[in-house]
């Protein structure tokens, strides 16, 4: 295939761009909203110092993954290759703000110190992500596909589809018409008049409805317009290294290291998801660039790691190719440097675009069953449990916060939910426990008891040191407990798994030899 035949942008890239841009815009709005509340960072500082660094890391990764997709298309002589989606790691965003930057701010009273410690955490995460690129491919090869995809399916059903489904029915006047447009285009595969992209039609109709029903405020738009102005990225390496010798580095390693590997495992799962959809990308360069993107973020003011996003099958199903990724990166670089993020949000309600992201979540969840052997379906279901638990804990936290109480207070009194402590245990390290439980299930289905035993021992090891399941209540949060015998009772449970599976392996072997 002649490289010139493969265009940088196709029509369906517009739909993909709207979906990815809405997803990224949500992360930007979270940063804008949470940084002042949790870490005391003034809004002006967020707009001028943090967001430009976020945008720079985005455009770097988006351009690389678009280029990588073009190279794959040229190599395999295909025109249906879709670039890996890329953006801010949402879980790390919350973890760094709540468990690192917030406590530092409360301890020191200085938002600048909190920001610098956040930069250091982001930088170390990038180093770990980059280093892992050179040995993670082997882990990807030995992990069953059902174990990788079920984790993503759990996240897709809960934190993507369910969250956005609830928002759709919370704001039906704005969100249900765009949802109908998305569903009829991508479930029924119909074409709109004049070849208009469904994502653009959905976004425009939702926006029009929001203004017609008086849900949007023209005053907010005027105020947001007054904040428009050039905000270029600034090198912040000096500030980052100012705190490298501080006690905060060692104090928060127990959060930084697990979160970095959480990011790495998530990226591996998303690479497997892309392969299941037909696009096999090499692990090493994909992970290395993910790590470099995080390093760029830290060196130019952003405290928030980047990641290969969940959702490649969804973007591919939309018909997006490489252009949606390029458009996304350039769009956010321009609007961030021009100070237009707040202005855009004052015109376009987020609810107008959530149908696109909702459909992406549905596609990811469906892929876990469609791209794995039929017999492995029960293993996929088992792998969903930890993500469901994580979502349940999140809902519980929000409920208690709204009621003016905390998880810790209610746990002391006794949470009136059957299996409440099991819910908390499954939530901690759920990305790892989902993979482990699904992998064990796959090998039991295949009657490969030795491999099921090995994965059980891996669960035992992670539980023993607190990477999965071990927790304590701190205010309205469940915080991981790391250390020797941190999750001993869970480790014993996994050891029982291993003993049972090994016993049956020996029993079957002896029986076959005697037979």
Q: Which of 353, 372, 391 is the last residue of a domain?
A: 372
Domain region containing 493: 375-514
* % pLDDT > 90, the chain: 37
276 has a pLDDT exceeding 60: yes
Task: Establish if 2 belongs to a structural domain.
Answer: no
Angle at which helix 145-155 crosses helix 377-402, to 10 degrees, equals: 30
Task: Establish if 248 belongs to a structural domain.
Answer: yes
- pLDDT, tens digit, for every residue of 360-383? 788 878 888 887 889 999 999 999
Task: Establish if 129 belongs to a structural domain.
Answer: yes
What's residue 58's pLDDT? Answer: 94
Task: Establish if 226 belongs to a structural domain.
Answer: yes
- How many domains is the chain built from? 2
Q: Are residues 147 and 283 in the same domain?
A: yes
Q: Are residues 365 and 434 in the same domain?
A: no
- pLDDT, tens digit, for every residue of 230-261? 888 999 988 788 888 777 777 777 678 767 87
CA distances from 97 to 41, 122, 162, 256, 299 (A): 11, 11, 24, 12, 18
Q: Are residues 89 and 53 in the same domain?
A: yes
Q: Are residues 399 and 354 in the same domain?
A: no
Task: Establish if 345 belongs to a structural domain.
Answer: yes
Q: Are residues 334 and 426 in the same domain?
A: no
Output the CA torsion sign for 321, 326, 332, 334.
negative
- pLDDT, tens digit, for every residue of 285-312? 999 999 999 999 999 999 999 989 877 8
Q: Which of 345, 372, 399 is the last residue of a domain?
A: 372
In the predicted model, what is the mean pLDDT of residues 380-395? Answer: 91
pTM exceeding the 0.85 threshold for the entire prediction: no
In the predicted model, what is the mean pLDDT of residues 219-237? Answer: 85
Q: Are residues 335 and 214 in the same domain?
A: yes
Cα(295)–Cα(3) distance, integer angstroms: 31
In the predicted model, what is the mean pLDDT of residues 90-103? Answer: 78
Q: Are residues 175 and 190 in the same domain?
A: yes
Q: Are residues 342 and 395 in the same domain?
A: no
Task: Establish if 462 belongs to a structural domain.
Answer: yes
416 pLDDT band, cuts 50/70/90, is confident
In the predicted model, what is the mean pLDDT of residues 353-366? Answer: 81
What's residue 135's pLDDT? Answer: 81
54 has a pLDDT exceeding 50: yes
Residues with Cβ within 8 Å of residue 469, at least 6 apart in sequence: 425, 426, 428, 429, 433, 463, 487, 490
Contact yes or no for 438/150 (Cβ under 8 A): yes
Task: Establish if 381 belongs to a structural domain.
Answer: yes
Residue whose entry in the numeric block shows the structure tokens 């040995």:
135
Average pLDDT score over the chain: 86
What's residue 5's pLDDT? Answer: 66
Give me the phi and psi of 477, to 5 degrees please.
-120, 155
DSSP codes of every residue in 319-347: T--SHHHHHHHHHHHHHHHTT-HHHHHHH
148 pLDDT band, cuts 50/70/90, is confident
Q: Which of 317, 342, 372 is the last residue of a domain?
A: 372
Q: Are residues 342 and 397 in the same domain?
A: no
Q: Are residues 196 and 54 in the same domain?
A: yes
In the predicted model, what is the mean pLDDT of residues 74-100? Answer: 84
Contact yes or no for 190/214 (Cβ under 8 A): no
- What angle (nearest 5°) sits at the alpha carbon of residue 156, between those of residues 497 and 344? 150
Distance from chain centroid for Cα 442 = 25
Q: Are residues 381 and 394 in the same domain?
A: yes
Task: Establish if 3 belongs to a structural domain.
Answer: no
What's residue 4's pLDDT? Answer: 53
Structure-block tokens of residue 185: 């285009």
Q: Are residues 155 and 228 in the same domain?
A: yes
In the predicted model, what is the mean pLDDT of residues 27-53? Answer: 87
What's residue 1's pLDDT? Answer: 46
In the predicted model, what is the mean pLDDT of residues 341-348? Answer: 82
In the predicted model, what is the mean pLDDT of residues 208-231? Answer: 87
């Amino acid at each position: 295939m002649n490289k010139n035949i493969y265009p940088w942008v196709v029509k369906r890239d517009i739909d993909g761009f709207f979906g990815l841009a809405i997803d990224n815009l949500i992360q930007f709005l979270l940063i804008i909203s949470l940084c002042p509340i949790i870490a005391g960072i003034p809004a002006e500082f967020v707009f001028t110092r943090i967001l430009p660094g976020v945008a720079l890391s985005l455009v770097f990764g988006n351009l690389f993954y678009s280029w990588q997709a073009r190279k794959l298309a040229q190599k395999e002589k295909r025109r249906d290759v879709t670039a890996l989606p890329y953006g801010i790691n949402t879980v790390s965003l919350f973890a760094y703000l709540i468990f690192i930057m917030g406590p530092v701010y409360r301890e020191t009273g200085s938002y600048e110190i909190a920001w610098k410690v956040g930069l250091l955490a982001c930088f170390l995460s990038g180093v770990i992500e980059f280093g892992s690129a050179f040995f993670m491919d082997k882990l990807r090869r030995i992990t069953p596909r059902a174990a990788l995809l079920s984790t993503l399916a759990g996240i897709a059903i809960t934190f993507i589809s369910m969250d956005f489904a609830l928002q759709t029915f919370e704001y039906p006047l704005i969100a249900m018409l765009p949802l109908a447009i998305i569903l009829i285009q991508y479930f029924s595969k119909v074409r709109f008049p004049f070849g208009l992209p469904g994502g653009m039609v959905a976004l425009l109709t939702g926006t029009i409805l929001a203004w017609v029903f008086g849900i949007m405020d023209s005053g907010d738009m005027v105020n947001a317009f007054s904040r428009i102005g050039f905000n270029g990225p600034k090198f912040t390496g000096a500030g980052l290294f100012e705190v490298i010798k501080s006690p905060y580095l060692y104090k928060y390693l127990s959060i930084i290291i697990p979160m970095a590997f959480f990011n790495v495992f998530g990226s591996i799962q998303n690479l497997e998801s892309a392969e299941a959809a037909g696009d096999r990308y090499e692990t090493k360069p994909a992970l290395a660039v993910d790590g470099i993107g995080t390093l760029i973020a830290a060196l130019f003011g952003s405290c928030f790691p980047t990641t290969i996003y969940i959702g490649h099958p969804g973007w591919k199903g939309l018909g997006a190719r490489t252009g949606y990724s390029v458009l996304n990166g350039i769009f956010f670089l321009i609007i961030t440097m021009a100070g237009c993020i707040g202005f855009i949000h004052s015109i376009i309600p987020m609810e107008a675009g959530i149908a696109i992201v909702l459909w992406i979540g549905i596609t990811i969840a469906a892929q876990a069953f469609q791209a794995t052997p039929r017999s492995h379906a029960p293993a996929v279901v088992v792998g969903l449990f930890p993500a469901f638990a994580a979502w349940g804990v999140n809902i519980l936290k929000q409920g208690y916060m709204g009621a003016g109480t905390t998880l810790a207070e209610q746990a002391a009194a006794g949470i009136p939910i059957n299996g409440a402590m099991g819910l908390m245990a499954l939530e901690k390290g759920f990305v790892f426990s989902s993979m482990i439980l699904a992998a064990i299930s796959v090998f039991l289905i295949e009657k490969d008891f030795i491999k099921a035993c090995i994965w059980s021992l891996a669960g035992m090891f992670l539980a023993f040191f607190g990477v999965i399941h071990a927790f304590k209540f701190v205010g309205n949060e469940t915080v991981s407990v790391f250390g020797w015998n941190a999750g001993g009772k869970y480790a014993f449970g996994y050891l029982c798994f291993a003993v049972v599976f090994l016993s049956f392996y020996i029993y079957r072997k002896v029986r076959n030899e005697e037979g």
